[in-house]
Structure 1
Amino acid sequence: MKSKLSTLTITLSTLFIVGCSTPAIYTAPNAPVSQIANTPTLAQVDKAVKDSLVGRGWIPQKVSPHIYLGTYNRRELMAKIKITFDTSVFNIQHVESKNLDYDSSDESIHSTYNKWVKNLERDIRKRVDRNVKVDKKRGHIQKKVTSTTHQSQSSGSFSYIQKGMSSKEVVALLGKPNDVTRKVTKKAFNPFYFGSDRFRSTYYYRGLGRIEFNISSHVAEIHHDTSEDGNN
């Protein structure tokens, strides 16, 4: 009976030791940079890696176009990692650590470190997908603006221009004017006038007409004139 109890005690002790052993270090080996994006750019992946490090409290240091070092300090704990990446996969490697029970003989470490790495792995994928979506949306918007500009210029009208639009908005739609003039209006000499129409800038567009802006650079008048030669 005593022998059986001793055997049981040894077995339970062994199970306890195994259950409490330090886990193998997690490296996110060749993790895909994205689960939905087929062709992210290197810039999109780079931004995702950096933002993920910063977002989780790591201090990022870029050492090459494909490598970031990250350092994390939490109370008495410290970890330093190296993230290598391209447009397809990334790896997170342990560089050094403090008070995390790292053992180089069997490449084991405290589970807290593995949790940090897995959080980064998940964040990088999410941010890559987000960056791809944002850039794709921007591309659609730019394409729409370009198309609208082309339509506006080729239609021979200022149909997209409205009073109150800024000069930047006008240029975004029509492009740079062929000529620009500036003049002081009569209202500028009225001591009781304090409005924005004391000064006018006029943009001339060949084959379209001219647009007048007030002192705050907003559209004041629109003159359709297909015979406009674009020169003052």
Structure 2
Amino acid sequence: MDARGNVVDSSKVESGSGRTVKGINDYEGEITGNPARGSRFTRLQIGMPVKQVTDLIGQPTDQGAYMTGKAWIPFYFGGDRHRFELVYKGQGRLIFAGGGVGNFTSGNLIWIIHNANEGGYR
């Protein structure tokens, strides 16, 4: 991040570098960076499901999923074992946690990374 709080490289942003917020249904999440002028991300709230987000702001430029460290804890059946990421060119990235077992395209929004310089690909 630069001195003004703008994200320079979304892939290098670390959790905890933004501000913590409470969203829909008491979901806790984080918002990092400053929104681009006319950003569609300003319509989003932490806790929104993937489908609601894509209905509001459209399809992403790129997307992907990855496992978190919690996936390797024996007998852990809680949430956040995997995350799903949507990337929007010129807007930033959206990170979702949770969802059903084997369904990487579900979950709720937990992190908004604003980046006006986002290239659009992971």
- The TM-score normalised by the length of structure 1 is 0.33
State the alpha-carbon separation in 1 of the partners of residues 113 and 77 from structure 2: 25
For residues 1-232 of structure 1, the aligned pairs below 5 Å read 155-156=38-39, 158-191=41-74, 193-216=76-99, 217-232=107-122
Q: CA deviation at 1:192?
A: 5.2
State the alpha-carbon separation in 2 of the partners of residues 179 and 212 from structure 1: 12
Q: CA RMSD in A?
A: 2.1
State the alpha-carbon separation in 2 of the partners of residues 182 and 215 from structure 1: 11
Q: In 2, are the aligned partners of 1:201 and 1:212 still within 8 Å (CA)?
A: yes
Q: Secondary structure at the match of 1:158?
A: helix
Letter in 1 for 2:116: T
Q: CA deviation at 1:157?
A: 5.2
Q: In 1, are the aligned partners of 2:36 and 2:116 still within 8 Å (CA)?
A: no
Letter in 2 for 1:224: H
Q: In 1, are the aligned partners of 2:71 and 2:82 still within 8 Å (CA)?
A: yes
Letter in 2 for 1:218: N
Q: CA deviation at 1:193?
A: 3.3
Instruction: Return 5+ residue gaps in structure 2 as ranges.
Output: 1-34, 100-106
Q: In 1, are the aligned partners of 2:47 and 2:110 still within 8 Å (CA)?
A: yes
Instruction: Return 5+ residue gaps in structure 1 as ranges.
Output: 1-151
**Relative contact order: is structure 1 or structure 2 higher (C-alpha 8 Å, sep ≥ 6)?**
2
- The TM-score normalised by the length of structure 2 is 0.60
Q: Secondary structure at the match of 2:46?
A: coil
State the alpha-carbon separation in 2 of the partners of residues 223 and 231 from structure 1: 14
Q: Which has the higher helix share?
A: 1
